A and B are shown apart, each in its own frame.
Chain A
C-alpha cells in the first residue's frame, strides 16, 4: 500500500490530510515538526512526503534540504504545501528538488490526493483506486 508522510505542525490540518488520504486508501505516517519529519522519512520510508514550510524546530525548507542531502531519502518525492504562497518560495522549493509546490488554501484535500496519485503513478508506484473506503466509513 502506498505510504505518505505528512509533515505538518497544525493538528487540524494534519488531521484533515490524514483523513483524506486514509479515505483514499493510503497509509499515512504523521510528523508534527520538521525534525521528526526528517527522522520519519528514514524510519517509515514513505512513497511520498507532503511537507509544510512554516514549522517549529526546523522549517520545511531545512527539512527538504536534509531529505535531499541524504542518499537514503533523496529519491523520495516531496510535495511542498504551504500558505506562504509567494512564487519565489515555489521556485526555491522546486529548485531544491520538490516535485510540486501547492498552495494549501487554493486546493481541496481531494485534489491534493489526486496530485499525489498522479505523481506516484508516473513513478510506477501502486496506488489505491479513487474513492476507496469512503462509503464504508460512513
Chain B
C-alpha cells in the first residue's frame, strides 16, 4: 500500500489528462480494489479487480452510489465521515480504515482502505480515490501471531508464577496463570480439576481452581466442592484420553451430549482439555472453555498449553516436595524442640537432684556429726567413706583418720570385724555385737548393709555403728544388784518372820489355844506370807517389764504340764474340799510352742487363783484344739468377776480399788494376772476371761501357739 501511496504522490504534479491516463492504466492492474468517486460519492471508475470482487460488470458499477450500494450498513457512516473530512480539509494525507464490502448477498473479506483526495491544477477537489486491499488473511495471521505471542507470554508468566510460588501465594499464582492463559487465548473460563481415587479405587475428580472472564475466580477447598466419579458424570471418554496424556480439543457440538452435563458452562462452544501430570501420576486436567464460536486452536497453541500443563505439573511436584521438606523440617524442628525441652527438663531435674543431694548430704553430715553414735560408712572394698566425730571419742582419736585396718585394730582380740563384715554382706542383714569391752567402755557394734532403696536394691556398702552402752551397763548392773539385794535382803527377814510365826503356831499352838495371842500370831504369819508374795510378784513383774526374762521356745505336750501343775496343787484343792478335775480323755496330746517354765507359772497362777476364789464346787480344766492355737480353759464355780472388774482384770494393780474399799484384804497382790498376761504374751500367746458370772464362776482361757 505504501507503493500505491507513493505512486499517487508522484501523480500530484501532472496535468489532469495525464493523471487520468496513468490512473486508468494503474487501476487496470493490481490486486487491489481501486474506486474513483466524484464528490457526491458516485462511482466514476472501478478497476477490473474491483469488478471481479463484486462479481459485476463495470457498467453495473460505474455511476452507482458507492456508499449506499456497496458498503454494509455498519461501515457507511464511518467512511462517509472520512470522505467528508478529506473534502473539507483538502488534506493530502490519506484517510485509512478497514471494512468489508457487500459481495452479492454476502460480504467480502476485510479490506484495508486508503482514501485520497484528487485535486485539479487549481487545487480544487475533483474526485475521491479509495484503494482497498484484502487483508483477511493478513489479519488472521496477525491475530494468530498475537494469540501465540500472548500465549507464549502467558506461558513464560506461568513459569515465573509457578517457579516463584511459595505455599502462601500458590493458590493466587495458579489463578493468575489461569487468568493469563484465559486472556491470552480469549477463553471465557479456565479451570483446573484435581483427581482423586474413591475408596473402591474409581477415578474421580473435583473442581479445584477456576477463573472466569467476568473476573470471578475461586480456589475450591476440599470440602467445598464435591468430587465426582468421572464415569458417572459422563466423562469416561475424557478420563481415558487424559490418563493416556492425550488432549481434547473439540467443539461442544461434536461432543456426546453427556460430556457437557457436569461442570460445563451452557454457552460453551468448544473446549480444550489438557491433562496435568505430576511425574508419572495423572494429577488432573486444565480446561479452557470458549464461549465464542469457531475459536481456532492451532497445534502450536496446543503445544504451548501442553507446556503450561507440564510446568503446572512440575510446580505441583515441587510444591509437594517442598511441602514434604517443610513437614520434615517441621517435624525435625519439633523433634529438636522436644529433645531440647527434654534435655532442659533433664538438666533441671539433675540440678534439683544435685541440690537435693547436696542438701541431703549437708543434713546427713550435720546429723551424723551431731549424734553420739559412732558412725562409719564403708564401701564394698572396706574403704572408709565417711565417719563422724563420735568415732574418735568412742574409739580414741586416730591421727591418720580412719581406715578399715585402724578400725579393725581397735577391736583386736575382742571382735573379728572382718568376719562380721563378710557375714553382713553375705546375709544382707544387720549384725549386732552387744557388750564389746574397749578399755573401761562397753560398746555395742551394729554392722548394717547399705541397700539402694531405689533401683535393684543391691548392697553398696556397710555402715558400722558404735554405741557406747557403758552407762546402760552400769545401770543394768545397779539394777541387778538391787534385785539381788532386794530379793535377798527383804526375803530373808520376811522368811524369818514367817518361819518363826509358823513354828509358834506349829509348836505352841496348843498352849495358845483360845487366846487372843494365837489369833495375833496367825495374823503375823498370814501377813508375812502375803508380804513375801507381794515382794516376789513385784520382782517378777519388774524383771518382766525390763525383759530380764528370756523366753524359750520349747515344744511340749501341754497336757503333761497341766497334769504336773494339777498334781502340785492337788493338796490345796483337797484341803479346800474342791473338785479338781482335768476333763480330758486319756491319751490325748496337745503340743504347743512356748516357754515350758513360764507356761507352768501361768497355769499355777490361774489354777491358784481359781482355788483361791472358789469356796464350793470345783475347778475344772479342758483343752481345745484350734487352727493355729491350742487352748487351755480353766473354769471354776467360784465367786465370779463383776462387769466393773473386767476391763482392768489383767492390768497392774487392778486390785487396789477392791482391796481398799471393798473386800478381801488377805489375798493376792493384784499382780498375778498382770504377770500372767506379760508372760503369755511374751510367748506369743494370749490369756483372757472366757466368761464369768458373778457368784457362779469364771472361765479363763490361755491360748498358745501349736507346736
Q: Which residues of A does B touch, CB under 8 Å?
A: 10, 12-13, 16-17, 19-20, 23, 54, 83-85, 87, 104-106, 108-110, 134-135, 137-138
B155: interface (CB < 8 Å): no
> For residue A104, which residues in chain B have a CB less than 8 angstroms away from its CB?
491-492, 495
> What's the Cα separation between A100 and B72 when bound, in Å?
166
> What's the Cα separation between A13 and B532 when bound, in Å?
16
> What's the Cα separation between A86 and B498 when bound, in Å?
20
B495 x A105 contact (CB < 8 A): yes
> What's the Cα separation between A7 and B452 when bound, in Å?
64
Interface size on B, residues (CB 8 A): 22
> For residue B498, which residues in chain A have a CB less than 8 angstroms away from its CB?
105, 108
> What's the Cα separation between A76 and B500 when bound, in Å?
28
B507 x A87 contact (CB < 8 A): no
Q: Known contacts being A12-B496, A13-B496, A83-B495, is A110 close to B484, with CB within 8 Å?
A: no
> What's the Cα separation between A12 and B215 when bound, in Å?
140
Cross-interface CB contact of A110 among B487, B495, B502, cutoff 8 Å: B502
B108: interface (CB < 8 Å): no
Q: Which residues of B does A touch, CB under 8 Å?
A: 484, 487-488, 491-496, 498-500, 502-503, 506-508, 510-511, 532, 536, 597
> For residue B532, which residues in chain A have a CB less than 8 angstroms away from its CB?
105-106
> For residue A10, which residues in chain B have a CB less than 8 angstroms away from its CB?
492, 496
A20 x B503 contact (CB < 8 A): yes
B500 x A16 contact (CB < 8 A): yes
> What's the Cα separation between A13 and B493 when bound, in Å?
8
B487 x A16 contact (CB < 8 A): no
> For residue B484, which residues in chain A have a CB less than 8 angstroms away from its CB?
54, 84
Cross-interface CB contact of A13 among B495, B503, B507, B510, cutoff 8 Å: B495
Cross-interface CB contact of B503 among A19, A54, A83, cutoff 8 Å: A19
> What's the Cα separation between A87 and B488 when bound, in Å?
16
> What's the Cα separation between A76 and B146 when bound, in Å?
155
- Please give me the 3 A-B residue pairs with the lowest Cβ-Cβ distance, nearest first: A108-B502, A83-B491, A134-B507
A108 x B492 contact (CB < 8 A): no
Q: Known contacts being A12-B496, A104-B491, is A138 close to B502, with CB within 8 Å?
A: no
> What's the Cα separation between A19 and B508 when bound, in Å?
13
> What's the Cα separation between A137 and B511 when bound, in Å?
12
> What's the Cα separation between A137 and B532 when bound, in Å?
29
> How close is A85's CB to chain B, nearest CB, in angstroms?
8
CB closest residue in chain B, given A131: B507
> For residue B493, which residues in chain A have a CB less than 8 angstroms away from its CB?
12
A83 x B492 contact (CB < 8 A): yes
> How close is B525's CB to chain A, nearest CB, in angstroms?
9
A-B contact pairs, 15 of them (CB 8 A): A12-B496, A13-B492, A16-B499, A16-B503, A19-B503, A54-B484, A83-B495, A104-B491, A105-B532, A105-B536, A108-B506, A110-B503, A135-B510, A137-B507, A138-B511
> What's the Cα separation between A39 and B116 when bound, in Å?
186
> What's the Cα separation between A110 and B484 when bound, in Å?
26
